[in-house]
Amino acid sequence: MLDGAGVNPADIAHFIIPTPGRHFLTNKETSLFEEILGSPLGDRAPFYGDEIGYPGGAAALIQFDHMARQGAFHSGELIAVYVEESSKWMSGGFVVRWP
């Protein structure tokens, strides 16, 4: 998604990737995520499952809203939101610059 949009992952302040099964990720998969993000998963890609639950595909937008209401975003930051729908293996997302 980022390659297609011409966005450098290092320029993203926040990745919203609501993956509830992170405890199922192998060390290799975690390393791949962290290599792509350029930082540990929790630093720029938090998941607030304890606070918002996991409402399926809507989790990305609910987490985006939750973080916005908590003041997590700052003016000029790039935020990448990505979600997959595993029953049909569809995915989508967007990148937005916070006003």
Segment 86-90 shows an average pLDDT of 75
pLDDT above 90 (res 71): yes
Identify the burial level of 46 via C-beta atoms within 10 angstroms of its C-beta, where 0-12 means exposed, 13-18 middle and 19 or more buried: middle
Segment 44-65 shows an average pLDDT of 82
Domain count, the chain: 1
Q: What is the CATH number of the domain that holds 14?
A: 3.40.47.10
pLDDT above 70 (res 21): no
Segment 50-70 shows an average pLDDT of 86
pLDDT band at 94 (very low <50, low <70, confident <90, very high): very high
Backbone angles phi, psi at 81, to 5 degrees: -120, 130
The pTM score is 0.80
Residue-number span of the structural domain to which 79 is assigned: 2-97
Nearest Cα neighbor of 82 from 39, 10, 18 is 18
